[in-house]
Structure 1
């Protein structure tokens, strides 16, 4: 995964700004970081001391934050700006690997705590105009996120993991799937094989829904750019 993140950054080139939709931020309404110099939040526990010394001093981008706010509200999606919140590890961990110089302005957009997949796709559609610019949009979550399965020797779950992973790859990348069918599959993701085993709670899946919403009008079919194991579990990354 580390090698993939470093290599994909080279392949994509350097953007003028980065928007991250992180699994680690939920709000009642869509919320955007708007501080010009946000700090970072070490929002994890139980790790070695060095994990709490990590810094990523990327600047914010208030102008982009305001643009996202305007796009969301223009599409009838309630939104707010947050000048206080820093960047969580769903943002600074991947970006520290991808762009270690931390010189590219960054903004984070929250998930909605309703966890409604249809609304998260609509959230993406509302800000799809950002794709016309040199802005990298990162859905930072995980295609498999069952922590008990990760850390328990008593739970195998490989069959379940691989079945859901196969379904997700097919859903996002198969060009024979009609766009309206693809969208409905993502909305009804709980019907996928072993969906709730792989995502007991869906916050790590929904950043994908936002990214799909952003891309679906002009690039409905994604590419699989990473498919490997992390802690013995199959995980996949997609690029639109």
Structure 2
């Protein structure tokens, strides 16, 4: 990657546990999209993933050269527990992330024991199936403050100049009860999805306005219906901060388990 070309920032809906890798029908549009996305992106030197499935009191970064993976789900077929993704870590990138966060006054720590969770290895299996690009995972903060997560992303912007692809792995809709309710009205989630896409992608919003809207995301239509708890939304806040002034591209839109979900890309 040229030194003058910024690596992109990608927010993706990682799906229901391992279902994207098990052939679940409603995940097929997502699988098809993510499996063909890599040729349309500059090949990164490394990947930093912020997953909805790791929360800590202070920002924590995986630091092992061989982090391994954890099958952090239950109740799925045996094949779900045979999935492997033997990607290498990058202690050097981990140290860089720590340094960037500390420059912004954020206490941050390395974690040499933490394996990569399914919010990392499931989408990366589709995006980079050869597992040949070093990967580091960064935690969410367990206070779930939206403004702090935008600031976290802003602190990481410099990584884009170094060829690091930043991925926010969550879901733009995450209400487990609704996912498994076949009578649930998908129109309610569509209202929030439309608001979210307008917030991230409409060119008439300034960066400050996008931040203000995401900080106050609970005021959006059907916000708490779509996110009874916001851990699957907050990777998007990190992506917004890392993406910078330009609006995002709405690169994925379809239904998972009968609910509308979206993906966004900052170039």
Is TM more than 0.5 here?
A: yes
2:125 to 93, 96, 104: 96
Shift of residue 136, structure 1, vs aligned partner: 1.0
Gaps of 5+ in 1: none
The separation in 2 between residues aligned to 1:19 and 1:177, in whole angstroms, is 27
Please report how far the alpha carbon of residue 135 of structure 1 lies from its aligned counterpart in structure 2 after TM superposition: 1.2
User: Aligned partners of 1:239 and 1:71: how far apart in 2?
Assistant: 22
Q: For residue 140 of structure 1, report the CA deviation from its aligned partner.
A: 0.3
Cα RMSD (Å) of the superposition? 0.9
List runs of 5+ in structure 2 lacking aligned partners: 1-29
Taking structure 1 as the reference length, the TM-score comes to 0.97
Q: How many pairs does the alignment contain?
A: 237
1:1-240 counterparts in 2 under 5 A? 1-154=30-183, 156-216=184-244, 219-240=245-266
The structure showing larger relative contact order (alpha-carbon pairs under 8 Å, at least 6 residues apart) is 2
> Once the 2 structures are TM-superposed, how far is the Cα of residue 222 of structure 1 from its aligned partner?
0.3
Aligned-partner Cα distance in 1 for 2:59–2:205? 30
Kindly report structure 1 stretches of 4+ aligned residues shifted beyond 6 Å. none
State the secondary structure of the residue aligned to 1:140.
strand
Residues 46-69 of structure 1: CA distance to partner in whole angstroms, max 9, x if unpaired?
Answer: 100110010000000000000000
CA contact (8 A) 1:225 1:239 kept: yes
- Scaled by the length of structure 2, the TM-score of the pair is 0.87
Q: Deviations over 1:187-228 (max 9, x none)?
A: 000000000000000000000000111112xx4300000001
Tell me how far 1:14 sits from its aligned partner.
2.1
